[in-house]
Amino acid sequence: VQVQESGPGLVRSSETLSLTCSVSGDAIRSFYWSWIRQAPGKGLEWVGYMFYTGHTNYNPSLKSRVTMSVDTSKNQFSLKLTSVTAADTARYYCAAFSSDWYFFELWGQGALVTVSS
Amino acid sequence: QPALTQPASVSGSPGQSITISCTGTNTDVGRYKFVSWYQQFPGKAPRLIIYKVSERPSGVSARFSGSKSANTAFLTISGLQPEDEADYYCHSYAGSDTPGRFGGGTKLTVL
């Protein structure tokens, strides 16, 4: 299974960050697809996850600014984060979360997003 | 959602064994047998090395092992090798409709 993030690497402060995760094969229906971010030099922070049915769950600290969506015809799911600040500068990973044993089985290489003022 | 507690750094010499702890509470690590560990090299994505406390995915060296006692999980790396130098993160399930919690990460230095 191939997992690939894509999107702009630079976003202006107060604007909206948009990323897409492309998934090969039928894997998009097999996992809870998650966004996890990692600020430079920092640890992992879960942003949210989505199932192909549309069920979502977001990190409470980001919930007011996060929207995730899925396009099963394109095997893609997307992340939008509004009103970004420098604190949102991070590498954003797309990861497959297994609901059988509750772990992140597959990871994309990540997309670095820098918020500029 | 407080993070799980890991030591910021550990170190060891080649050939030695080291253990990284991951402390949670009775709502996550202590309650469920769904602790996983991830290895991350600089500039790379995390890689799953342990799941379900002690299970190893195919392709992961048997030098990596996991265990749990009460609210603390452990990752042990035996026969330490220079290529083990990386950051290690733990994760635990914390109940339905949540992907759980990550640890803050531990930097392993091979002296």
CA distance, residue A14 to nearest chain B CA (Å): 26
Q: Say if the Cβ atoms of B32 and A59 lie within 8 Å.
A: no
What per-residue confidence (pLDDT) applies to A100? 87
Question: Can you point out the beta strands (E) in B13-63?
Answer: 18-23, 35-40, 47-50
Binned at pLDDT 50, 70 and 90, residue B107 comes out as very high
DSSP output for A81-109: E-S--GGG-EEEEEEEEETTTTEEEEE--
CB contact under 8 A, A44 and B98: no
B38: how many CB neighbours lie within 10 A of its CB? 26
pLDDT of residue A87: 96
Q: Do A103 and B104 touch (CB under 8 A)?
A: no
**Interchain pair A43, B89: CB under 8 A:** yes
Q: Can you read off the two tokens belonging to residue A71?
A: 């396009």
The pLDDT value recorded for residue A29 is 87
Residues 35-64 of chain A whose Cβ lies under 8 A from any Cβ of chain B: 43-46, 49, 57, 59-61
Instruction: Give mean pLDDT, residues A87-96.
Output: 96
Q: Check CB contact of A4 with chain B, cutoff 8 Å.
A: no
Model confidence pLDDT, tens digit, residues A3-56: 999 999 999 999 999 999 999 878 888 899 999 999 999 999 999 999 999 999
Q: Is pLDDT at A111 greater than 70 in this prediction?
A: yes
On whether any CB of chain A is under 8 Å from the CB of B37, the answer is: no
How confident is residue B75, by pLDDT bands cut at 50, 70 and 90? very high
The rounded mean pLDDT for chain A is 93
The percent of residues in chain B predicted with pLDDT above 90, rounded, is 91
A53 Cα distance to chain centroid: 17
Long-range contacts of B48-56 (CB under 8 A, 24+ apart): B48/A103, B48/A104, B48/A105, B49/B75, B50/B75, B51/A101, B51/A103, B51/A105, B52/A101, B52/A103, B55/A101
**Cβ neighbours of A101 in B, within 8 Å:** 34, 51-52, 55
Averaged pLDDT, A74-102: 94
Task: Give me the pLDDT at residue B1, please.
Answer: 56
